[in-house]
Amino acid sequence: MAFSKHLASLGDIFVNDAFSASHRAHASVVGIAKYLPSYAGLLFFDELRNLDRFLKRPLKPLWAIIGGAKISTKLPLIESLINKVDGLIIGGAMANTLLLSQGKNVGTSLVEPDLKKECKKIIAEAKKKKCTLLIPTDVVVAENPDAKYAQVKQVDNIKNQDMILDIGPDTIENIEKCLESAKTVIWNGPLGLIEVPLFEKGTEKVAHMLGKLPGVIKVSGGGDTVAILNKLKLIDIFSYVSLAGGAFLEWLEGKKLPGIQALIRED
């Protein structure tokens, strides 16, 4: 409170132009707005306008591609999306826990076994809501991330020494078939260990695939995803790319972001 008041004493008005920080209830985001006339900046407003334009009333069918390392960080997002999208594609290491919940052997892969129950609920809820849930049917495995060689295996054939590090060609083909009828696609998170060239191919192929979909609204957000698109020079094929990470995800979840709420006037 005292720090917020001190910050406010340094100016006459407060303009928040950092949507990417709007999910944080910090003094410089929320506190200062209690003491000064406060407004959204042009970039902040543009972000909200575009997210609202493309995702509040999306063209259907609406598909989401969600990747990343740990499903624990995106459980609320996945649970929210199941109620909003027609289809949900889950890749990256977070898909390993879904595979484990189905009784698959995931070898030495990154996994969160304590979330098997939650993953079973996700699968059941997607079926109940008639949301098509696509998880890998084949994967790229190696002994470890530093391996010089890798091989493709069906998810039913994973051995104890295998580590899942990318999605396989059959899975990529399944994704392409699913997205053929899509009108809007949201993408957040890599589908493999993109830090290692041997395991970035799945993510790259899906990115190029999206680039070839005519007339489809494509929205992406999150640091890793934006980095991929920049590397592949595919930023321009997206209808909108959000530079926000956590704020983008929490907005997708439908949460009220503190930074936005602080700018809403009651008069």
Residue 48 exposed, middle or buried by CB count within 10 Å (0-12, 13-18, 19+)? middle
**pLDDT averaged over the chain?**
91
Q: Where are the domains of the chain?
A: 58-244
Count of residues making up the chain = 267
The pLDDT tens digits for 246-266 are 888 888 888 888 888 888 865
Look at the block and give the residue holding tokens 């704020």. Answer: 247
Q: What Rg value do the Cα atoms of the chain yield, rounded?
A: 20
Phi, psi of 107 (to 5 degrees): 60, -130
The pLDDT tens digits for 78-88 are 999 999 999 99
Class of domain 58-244: alpha beta
The pLDDT tens digits for 105-157 are 999 999 999 999 999 999 999 999 999 999 999 999 999 999 999 999 999 99
